[in-house]
Amino acid sequence: MHRLLLLLTIGLLPAQYDVLIRNGRVIDGAGNPWIRADVTIRGDSIAAMGALSGATATRVIDAAGRVVAPGFIDIHTHSRRGILDVPIAENYIRQGVTTLIEGNDGSSPLPLKAFLDEVAAKRTSVNFASFVGQGSIRREIIGLVNRKATPDEVDKMKQLVRRAMEEGALGLSTGLFYVPGNYTPTEEVIELAKVAGRMGGIYISHMRNEADGLLDSVRETIAIGEKGGLPTQITHHKAVGRPNHGRSVDTLKLVEEARARGVDATIDQYPYTASSTGLAGLIPQWAQEGGEAEMKKRFQDPPARAKIKAGIVRNIVENRGGGDPKNVVIANCGFDPGLNGKSLAQITSERSQAPTPENAADTAMDILMKGSCQTVYHAIDEADVERIMKYPWTMIGSDGEVPIFGKGVLHPRSYGTFARVLGVYVRERQVITLEDAVRKMSSFPAQRLGLWDRGLLRPGMKADVVIFDPATVADRAVFGNPHQYAVGFSHVLVNGEPIIDDGKVTDRRPGRVLYGPAHK
């Protein structure tokens, strides 16, 4: 043994492995209890695991006191907002995320191949994959009109789904809350879902209504998967608005009943009591037909404006507004950064008006006359967040983006989602176990997406690996001050290469574009 060590030291024998991780508590991603084991990496893959006392490696990492786990897969992002500008994606890698999934909420680039090629050429720190968006496809074929598609138009849309699947899409996403997805009959979505399903893809949906229509929307999502013949997922699941708090009891029962009869239905969520979308989320969908220009014309027509105002008031009181304009906060307003971080109540008061829902509705329309703004809506109950998280078939997704550091007052989920689950919901509140949290972030989304060589620590799997301290891992991003990186991750490796090494970001860019099951 001494002779072997001497020969290795003077370079006469090559090391067995590129990386050797010793002394950590290994959580394999499958939900199993942690074990003591060494993990070795050769090239881009895990080579061996176990008690490897005689193993040698070019780089040895001592993970004593820390957890070694598979890299996290964020199944719901809007990371095309920023990934080409900030390919390092530090907000995500600081949380242990090694794979980003784009194309959610019915919105994706078309053609998909051109965008994925651009991401590949950019050289990112993380892996990247995408769904194809039904809303983008519908807009391409029939625009932003509120009508059924003709049989010929449905055929054209099916052709676009088929093309996107061949270009590497993981499946079909919808944003049935948004225009033009909201104008789509269920049967039309099913026809497109059948195409994705026959090609091995899944269906993932921002449902039609997460508030007063919550239960019917869950039923619709399940029906699309059941009749479309493919796995179906309720994405960023929540119950929005005070009248709907507690209804996750019923939504989870619907999912459980569907699974019992053979429907492959699952869920993802983010661990916050606020959502985020455009300020136009307050505007009734009928008023958005034809796009932004047509919506603005309706704002200026007194009868239409009155009808729209009534709809906004209802949305503030019963839906996304959480009952009060103070719960609607501007996050990023490109045409007026001075609005960033201010609530509709505050902006209305600054206009010398009482911050009532009625006056706030006028404020919202006046803002939208000038342009769009990303907005945060505080309207979710913590009990629903915890109940959904405890459900076995829920995984974690941020619904975030890759922001320009310091720009805007964004939802903190882009910086904190995965670390928040580990720090708040595992360590502090003990809502779920550490092993189950890792499963919800790694092997479960990998299985859902068909990324069969990722999400687990096993020999032969790709070496996306994170090392973190379970006693200190934490999110730092908060509402009002979101641009703060998570802490606790000492090492993050993607395809065997370190992108965070001893807490420092490296210059490596080993991320790859990952393609769906029908890619040609």
Query: 326 and 443: one domain?
Result: no
- Contact between residue 494 and residue 126 where contact means Cβ atoms under 8 Å apart: yes
Cross-strand partners of 25:
36, 67
pLDDT (tens digit, 9 = 90+) per residue, 142-170? 999 999 999 999 999 999 999 999 999 99
Rounded Cα gap, residues 96 and 101, in angstroms:
14
Per-residue pLDDT at 15: 84
Query: 140 and 226: one domain?
Result: yes
Domains of the chain: total: 2
Query: Judging by beta carbons within 10 Å of its beta carbon (0-12, 13-18, 19+), is residue 140 exposed, middle or buried?
Result: middle
User: Which sign, positive or negative, has the C-alpha torsion 68, 71, 77, 81?
Assistant: positive
Query: 344 and 240: one domain?
Result: no
Residue 248: inside a domain = yes
Rounded Cα gap, residues 147 and 351, in angstroms:
39
Is residue 468 within a helix (H) or strand (E), and if so which, with residue range? strand 465-468
Residue 287: inside a domain = yes
Per-residue pLDDT at 14: 72
**CA proximity to 138, closest of 100, 191, 102:** 191
Which CATH number goes with the domain that contains 407? 3.20.20.140
What the block records as the tokens of 427 is 């360590």
Question: Long-range contacts made by residues 472-476, C-beta under 8 angstroms, separation at least 24?
Answer: 473/419, 473/422, 473/423, 473/427, 474/419, 474/420, 474/422, 474/423, 474/424, 475/95, 475/412, 475/415, 475/416, 475/417, 475/419, 475/420, 475/423, 475/424, 476/415, 476/416
Unique residue bearing structure tokens 């996750």: 248
Rounded Cα gap, residues 187 and 189, in angstroms:
5
Query: 138 and 254: one domain?
Result: yes
Tally of CB atoms within 10 A around 260: 8
Using the 3D structure, point to which of 401, 419, 452 is the last residue of a domain: 452
Query: 211 and 308: one domain?
Result: no
DSSP 291-357: -HHHHHHHHTSHHHHHHHHHHHHHHHHHSTTTTSGGGEEEEE-TT-GGGTT-BHHHHHHHTTS---H
Query: Judging by beta carbons within 10 Å of its beta carbon (0-12, 13-18, 19+), is residue 89 exposed, middle or buried?
Result: buried
Query: Judging by beta carbons within 10 Å of its beta carbon (0-12, 13-18, 19+), is residue 450 exposed, middle or buried?
Result: middle
| pLDDT mean for each 10 residues of the chain (520 residues) | 46 81 98 98 98 94 98 98 97 98 98 97 97 98 96 98 98 97 98 98 98 97 98 98 97 98 98 96 95 95 96 95 96 93 96 97 96 96 98 98 95 98 98 98 98 98 98 97 98 98 97 97
Residue 354: inside a domain = yes
Using the 3D structure, point to which of 378, 405, 430 is the last residue of a domain: 378
Residue 35: inside a domain = no
**CA proximity to 445, closest of 116, 76, 123:** 76
pLDDT (tens digit, 9 = 90+) per residue, 106-148? 999 999 999 999 999 999 999 999 999 999 999 999 999 999 9
Query: Judging by beta carbons within 10 Å of its beta carbon (0-12, 13-18, 19+), is residue 185 exposed, middle or buried?
Result: exposed
DSSP 229-279: TS-EEE-S---BSGGGTTTHHHHHHHHHHHHHTT--EEEEE-S-SEEEEEG
Query: 144 and 292: one domain?
Result: no
Query: 440 and 389: one domain?
Result: yes
Per-residue pLDDT at 9: 46
Per-residue pLDDT at 251: 98
Per-residue pLDDT at 132: 98
Residue 176: inside a domain = yes
Residue 211: inside a domain = yes
Query: 327 and 386: one domain?
Result: no
Rounded Cα gap, residues 515 and 117, in angstroms:
11
Query: 263 and 293: one domain?
Result: no
Domain region containing 321: 277-378
| End-to-end Cα, the chain, rounded Å | 50
Unique residue bearing structure tokens 């088929």: 162
pTM of the shown model: 0.95
Residue 174: strand, helix, or coil: strand
- Contact between residue 220 and residue 214 where contact means Cβ atoms under 8 Å apart: no
Residue 362: strand, helix, or coil: helix
Unique residue bearing structure tokens 């090239």: 43
In 201-211, which positions are buried (b, 16+ CB within 10 angstroms) versus exposed (e)?
Answer: bbbbbbbbbbb
Query: 254 and 307: one domain?
Result: no
Query: 87 and 232: one domain?
Result: yes
Beta-sheet pairing, 374-378 with 274-278: antiparallel
pLDDT (tens digit, 9 = 90+) per residue, 26-39? 999 999 999 999 99
Averaged pLDDT score across all residues of the chain:
96
Using the 3D structure, point to which of 347, 378, 409 is the last residue of a domain: 378
Rounded Cα gap, residues 250 and 346, in angstroms:
36
Spacing of C-alpha 63 from chain mean position: 29
Residue 507: inside a domain = no
323, 347, 375, 425 from 338: Cα distances, Å: 25, 10, 14, 34
Residue 42: inside a domain = no
Query: 433 and 371: one domain?
Result: no
Per-residue pLDDT at 7: 44
